[in-house]
């Protein structure tokens, strides 16, 4: 009877010890799961923060590259403007040169005719003056047309350069905006995830 009671007591103690061990094992497992979950959230949050920083950096890099490209177009436009001014000046100088050349030729012809005893008012003199003047007018007109064509081309190039400058800036903004927005979202999400993991870890303790 005593032996049976002892056996029953021993069995009850073993069962209790087993139950306690099971409970302890379960608690430890739950704690490890909790810690493991918080650690996972922290790691995921850190990854999101890193991704956000990378995205924001990429966005600013895109803006900087677009700004540099636009600056190059702006400098190119300045040189094109200078070339346009030089072409205008060249056209005027060429017209002055041709008129001066006409007067020099006319003066030389007058001296040559005078040596021959021929007056510039005579038929030969007038014919020479008319032909020389006609040639001058054609040369001046051709020079002006060439200069105007060059000026038109330079204006067109400058206009295209200004458009390219604006396009470069706008495309930089268009490309950078999604990168900045996505990077900012990832950064905020990461901070929230890390903060939430820290709160859960504190509450678990």
pLDDT tens, 74-124? 999 999 999 999 998 988 888 888 888 888 877 887 777 777 776 666 777
197 pLDDT band (50/70/90 cuts)? low
pLDDT at 34 (0 to 100): 36
Tell me how many degrees the CA angle 182-56-49 measures, rounded to the nearest 5.
75
Helix 2-115 with 123-204: angle, nearest 10 deg: 170
Who wins on pLDDT, 111 or 50? 50
What is the average pLDDT across 56-76?
93
Nearest CA among 33, 12, 51, 27 for reference residue 193: 51
Q: How far apart are CA 40 and CA 199, in angstroms?
A: 14
pLDDT at 162 (0 to 100): 93
Q: Which tokens hold the place of 49?
A: 């923060």
pLDDT at 154 (0 to 100): 92
In order, the DSSP letters of 129-150 are HHHHHHHHHHHHHHHHHHHHHH
Q: Which tokens hold the place of 196?
A: 């939430």
């Amino acid at each position: 009877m005593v032996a049976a009671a002892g056996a029953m007591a021993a069995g009850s103690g073993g069962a209790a010890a087993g139950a306690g061990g099971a409970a302890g094992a379960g608690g430890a497992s739950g704690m490890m799961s909790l810690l493991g979950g918080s650690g996972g959230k922290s790691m995921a949050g850190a990854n999101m923060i890193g991704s956000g920083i990378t995205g924001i950096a990429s966005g600013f890099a895109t803006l900087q590259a677009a700004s540099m490209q636009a600056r190059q177009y702006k400098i190119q436009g300045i040189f094109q403007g200078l070339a346009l001014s030089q072409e205008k000046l060249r056209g005027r100088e060429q017209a002055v040169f041709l008129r001066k050349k006409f007067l020099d030729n006319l003066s030389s012809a007058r001296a040559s005719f005078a040596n021959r005893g021929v007056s510039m008012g005579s038929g030969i003199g007038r014919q020479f003056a008319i032909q020389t003047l006609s040639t001058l007018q054609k040369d001046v007109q051709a020079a002006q047309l060439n200069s105007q064509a060059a000026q038109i081309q330079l204006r067109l190039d400058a206009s295209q350069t200004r458009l390219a400058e604006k396009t470069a800036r706008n495309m930089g903004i268009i490309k950078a905006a999604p990168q900045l927005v996505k990077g900012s979202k990832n950064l905020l999400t990461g901070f929230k995830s890390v903060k939430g993991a820290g709160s859960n870890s504190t509450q678990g303790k």
